[in-house]
Amino acid sequence: MGGKLASLFAERGLITTVGVVGMGYVGIPSAVLFADVLQIRHVYGFQRDSPRSGSKIALLNRGQNPLVGDEPGLPELLEKVVSEGKFTCTPDFSHIQSCDAVTVAIQTPFLDPADLVPDFTPLSDGLRAVGGNLAEGMLIVIESTVTPGTTQGIAREILEEESGLSAGKDFGLVHAPERVMVGRLIRNIREHDRIVGGIDPASTRRAIGLYTPVLTTGRIIPMTATAAEVTKTAENTFRDLQIAAVNELALYCEAMGVNIYDVREGIASLREEGVTRAILWPGAGVGGHCLPKDTYHLERGPQVLGAVPDYPPGRESLYLLARSINDFMPVHMANLAEAGLTRAGRTMGGSRIALLGWSFIANSGDWRNTPSAVFLETVITRGADVLVHDPFVTGVPGVDVRQELSSVLKGADAVAIFTGHTQYRSLDPVRCLALTGSRHPVIVDGRNIIDPDIFIREGWIYKGIGRGDKNGHEIRT
């Protein structure tokens, strides 16, 4: 099988023209890093000219970064490769015909997690556009996080159907999952090890040639396409599981009147050969494009591959249980706010709540699957009025997110901190109290970023995730 493909790659020689499909948090940094590789003559960034994302095309071609939030190194590199004429963004997929390699970084959300039904429409549409312009000797790389079995399954089928060519014989096919975090996109692509999983050895070798020039400290870890899919979905599932474990512990600590951060420090102190204690941080919830859905991709893997794991009969998947604990945390925040309001002699109904932080992660404008949305819906259902603040977020359909803090704090009966933005770390308890106009406003800290004692001293009613040592404090009159 690999013989013909290997010779097709050899005939083509070095990869000099690359296409990147999907100009988002993964595609944009990947494209500019490929364009900055000496051997690579040109990179096309493919973006559909849709009402929601079409504006990115002109911005990118002017060398301007359309991503919200601080991305060290990206604006400069983008400006450089555009001014050198090595990168262009286009909605015209026919340019794929001139590419040696094409990477696909398109979102893979879930339509219905309960039934494990993913929404592969955007990915399928992208693969159809690639397949319709595919030529012999090309390499296709799927960087999106997908259910195990997808690369060898529907992805291959769509590409073969559209092109009339055969994967592993006429063109190469690989899964090389992205591992980036907002706020460190360029660094992550350069420094994280790159998992490269080909459907055959020739495809894997070709992809190693594509990624090696981009990596600085990162290594290449080759494996099969399905193993690469499991690696990616499992690493996020394990992170979600670790977060769920510490969130459950935080709920227990609240009930037992204990400070989770003392316990966490204690647990993390046990260090010895073979004993690792990767205990993560409890909080107001798990958001973003990855953790809230990748567990479902992993869970769906055996199904797609027609396999049934041997598992304790009738027991729920550990990974799905973890999901439900993390999904509960914003509701728990609402329960803490309600408990605090009760201590203030108020009910949730008719109370005004200031929600601080709409993005899912600190100092970023990324609000995909934000836990704040669950809290907002929960407290509104319980009768509260809510004003939302976030210094980095604008343009949220149906939610008035403000950038001016005092107008959101004004007249608030309770303040709920959802995101660890640096700005919130220096909230002044006296000034904020004056803005609320209340003698005992409630503050609920979902990211452990304020000092409970200085707020309690000023008369606030404090509630914190995992702070059983403080949540029943005496109210200062």
> Distance from first CA to last CA of the chain, Å, rounded?
79
In terms of CB distance, is 141 or 348 closer to ligand SAJ?
141
The answer to whether 53 and 60 have CB atoms below 8 angstroms apart is no
DSSP secondary structure letters along 380-403: HHTT-EEEEE-SS----TT--EES
Query: Is 222 in contact with 196 (CB distance < 8 Å)?
Result: yes
Sign of CA dihedral 370, 371, 377, 380: negative
**Of residues 117-146, those binding ligand SAJ (CB under 6 A):** 145
Gap between the Cα atoms of 2 and 414, Å rounded = 64
| Distances in whole angstroms, Cα of residue 332 to Cα of each of 41, 250, 402, 404, 458 | 53, 11, 24, 27, 25
Among candidate residues 56, 232, 293, 470, the one labeled active-site is 232
From 283, 301, 357, 466, residue interacting with ligand SAJ (rule: CB under 6 A): 283
361 forms part of the interface with ligand SAJ (CB under 6 A): yes
Is residue 328 a contact residue for ligand SAJ (CB under 6 A)?
no
Binding mask 142-161 for ligand SAJ (x = CB under 6 A): ---x----------------
Minimum CB–partner distance for residue 419 and ligand SAJ (Å):
8
User: Between residues 36 and 178, which has the closer beta carbon with respect to ligand SAJ?
Assistant: 178
Q: Does 409 bind ligand SAJ (CB under 6 A)?
A: no
Catalytic (active site) residue 470: no
In the set 290, 293, 432, 470, the catalytic residue is 290
Is 401 a binder of ligand SAJ (CB under 6 A)? no
The yes or no reply on residue 291 touching ligand SAJ (CB under 6 A) is yes
Binding flag, residue 298, ligand SAJ (CB under 6 A): no
CA distances from 239 to 180, 281, 370 (A): 14, 11, 17
- Which residue number, 57 or 105, has a Cβ lying nearer to ligand SAJ? 105
Q: How far apart are CA 139 and CA 210, in angstroms?
A: 9
φ, ψ for residue 252, nearest 5 deg: -65, -40
Pick the piece of the chain touching ligand SAJ (CB under 6 A) from 54-62, 200-208, 276-284, 386-394: 276-284
Question: Burial level of 288, CB count in 10 A (0-12/13-18/19+)?
Answer: buried
The token duo for 80 is 């450089």
Rounded alpha-carbon distances, angstroms, from residue 71 to 21, 28, 59, 178, 399: 20, 11, 16, 16, 25
Binding to ligand SAJ, residues 341-360 (CB under 6 A): 360
Task: Yes or no: say if 348 and 379 are a contact pair by the CB < 8 Å rule.
Answer: yes
Q: Which is nearer to ligand SAJ, 60 or 322 (CB)?
A: 322
**Smallest gap, in angstroms, from Cβ of residue 243 to ligand SAJ?**
4
Contact flag: residue 235 with ligand SAJ (CB under 6 A): yes
**290 catalytically annotated:** yes
Nearer to ligand SAJ, 25 or 46 (CB): 25
Q: How far is the CB of 444 from ligand SAJ (least distance, A)?
A: 15
Tokens for 305, please give them: 């591959």
Which residues neighbour 314 within 8 Å (Cβ) at sequence distance 6 or greater?
Answer: none
Angle (nearest 5°) at CA 362 between 361 and 365 = 70
Contact between 465 and ligand SAJ by CB under 6 A: the answer reads: no
Q: With CB under 6 A as the contact rule, which of the stretches 109-117, 249-257, 282-290, 431-439 interacts with ligand SAJ?
A: 282-290
User: Out of 31, 99, 180, 185, which residue is the one contacting ligand SAJ (CB under 6 A)?
Assistant: 180
Q: How far is the CB of 430 from ligand SAJ (least distance, A)?
A: 28
Q: State CA 248 to chain mean position distance.
A: 22
Nearest approach in angstroms of CB 360 to ligand SAJ is 4
CB atoms within 10 A of CB 91: 14
Q: What is the CA radius of gyration of the chain?
A: 25
Residue selected from 129, 243, 356, 435 as contacting ligand SAJ according to rule CB under 6 A: 243
Site string for ligand SAJ, 6-45 (x = CB under 6 A): ----------------------------------------
Q: Least CB distance from residue 355 to ligand SAJ, whole Å? A: 15
- Which are the catalytic amino acids? 232, 290
- Residues in the site for ligand SAJ, rule: CB under 6 A? 145, 178-182, 235-236, 239, 243, 280-281, 283, 286-288, 290-291, 360-361
